[in-house]
Structure 1
Amino acid sequence: MTAPPPALSEAATAPGDALLVVENLVRHFAVGRAGLLGPRLTVKAVDDVSFSIRKGEVLGIVGESGCGKSSVAKAILNIHSPSAGRVRLRGTDLTTLSAAAWREMRRKIQYVFQDPLNSLDPRIRILEQVIEPLTIHRIGDRRARAEKASGMLAAVGLGPAHHRKFPHELSGGQQQRVVLARALVLEPEIVICDEPISALDVSIQAQVVQLLQKLRAELGLTILFISHDLSIVRFLCDRVAVMYLGRIVEFAATGELFDRPRHPYTEALIAAIPIPVPGARTDRTLLEGEPPSPIHLPTGCRFNPRCRRAIALCRQTEPALLDAADAHFTACHLAHEGTG
């Protein structure tokens, strides 16, 4: 009998050069009851998610709003404590750390939020905001902190003319550069970028993406890049995980995933990427309808109510996320049978 292909949870825990390993991560939120005496209701924001990130890699997580991308990031950082599963950084299980241990660990994992202006204190000047993480972690004396913060601001393209400005005096792109400088000044091992360019104009988006590439090359950054913009993800990321309703439905190297998508949901997302050619026509796989409620999930494959190719098996049994022996993981019965 032929052995079944490995699941992504097995691949995520395999030995190798993985810096961060997320294994069977779960984050559910209780939202009350169905009626006065009804059963308790639970939002399954993250439901059995596994992946690993190698040192120096940029891993993208994509999907529609509400699919669980940001919840994964916040569970990794213990902003929302995981309901189950493990998160390991260089072998250290982050889910077991005390509050004191997490204080030290946060030097190694930094978070770049979606809205740069709301991430900054409007009352504090730019240089002081970049110095602040060094002060909190008691790194160096006052002079050393100022020098290091000034150097990091220079690395992201902000010179002394910006040091004494307040956040509202900067453009959106400059604000995001400050947020990046503040995250990087602690020399973290991994940076989680949660929709870091979605609030910016297109021209500014390009500047921030180029900056990330530059800093990755110069500092050896490892990045978890969360976005719904697949064109940016294709340009920036080495591997991509596609999420739908709390689960990863496809996971592969970027070129492989975009050139040969195997899940109908991935196909629809890629087909929705705008084509920058006036009048260009192409056959598109339109994604109809809205995702089902994460409280009342459909039976079988979670995507089956919106999938044009769904068969009876799709409505009865949820597919596992399996590897087709080429490190291209897919959670689709049709792909597993070779008929997708």
Structure 2
Amino acid sequence: MRFLITTQAVDLDDPVLAFFHRWIEEFAKHSEKVHVICLKEGRHALPENVTVHSLGKESGRSRLKYLARFFKYAWRLRHDYDAVFVHMNPEYAVLGGPLWRAMHKKIGLWYIHPRSSIRLRIAATFADHIFSASNDSFPFATPKLIPLGHGIDIGFFSPGNFVPSSILHIMHVGRLAPVKNIEVILDAVEELSARGVPVSFDQYGEDLPSDATYAAHIRERARSMQECTFHGKATPTQVSDAYRVHDVHVNATTSGSFDKAVLESMATGTITVASSKTLKSVLPSDLIFEERNSHSLAIVLEHIARMSETERKVLRDNLRKNATKNNLQQLLATIVRELS
């Protein structure tokens, strides 16, 4: 089996997409040959049967250049791939779909986001299969949808030697954006402090230019709080190390979102709290708080703070066990089988 994969970036240093390097490695284990078309190419160390073709964003923006290179690669490599896997960017399926259909190439689309678009609906018409984390993480109903969970590298995201302390160490992983509802977490931390619960909060993730106003507001708010640190851009290694030294990871996105950070923190043995009802299949109900409700979050966090270390360890072990059901190897094997 030979694959063509399209994605935004192949870059071990990308703060958002570095994880996809492991996906490509896993595809290579199941494939004779893998070609990857990416918008931006950075540092990578991929197997010999993988070739990366960049559209050239790293050397300057040019939509015309991107389009010309995309069609050049899709056509020139046509005899060297049997199926196409489109990761998160439906425009690749919109552009390449007619050509791939004409050449009888199977098309798989991976997409996780609650928001629909005309581009996504057009891409869905070309796709043979659509893969997502759950039925709720894809924005519209289609018989092509195959819910697979998230592909978590459970070897990389694994528990360390956690050292308990009297302080409840809380963290959040994700960009500074309104959709992340970080103000809800800050409100809950302030409420816990007011109740006399020793607590700290660490934020890992940067902001996009479009979210600069929100990010500035959140940073200004955090500056007035004790034991609150914003670390900015973080590599996957820095994030996994952070999980290992924190008691709780909070995800405050609303229903329809299935953030992979939730499963990564669970796999690392961090107690994970979330508000998205989409996560009811992986988190116990007492770790889910009401959406955009800081008081509800504070109640959940205080309950964890009052637990004995033995109770927390049992909870961490159970969360790790649940997360391993979403392992990368199993997910990629299913995708390869469906596209064969």
Per the normalisation by structure 1, the TM-score is: 0.31
Structure with the bigger percentage of helix: 2
**TM-score normalised by L of structure 2:** 0.31
Give the number of the structure with larger relative contact order, counting CA–CA contacts within 8 Å between residues 6 or more apart: 1
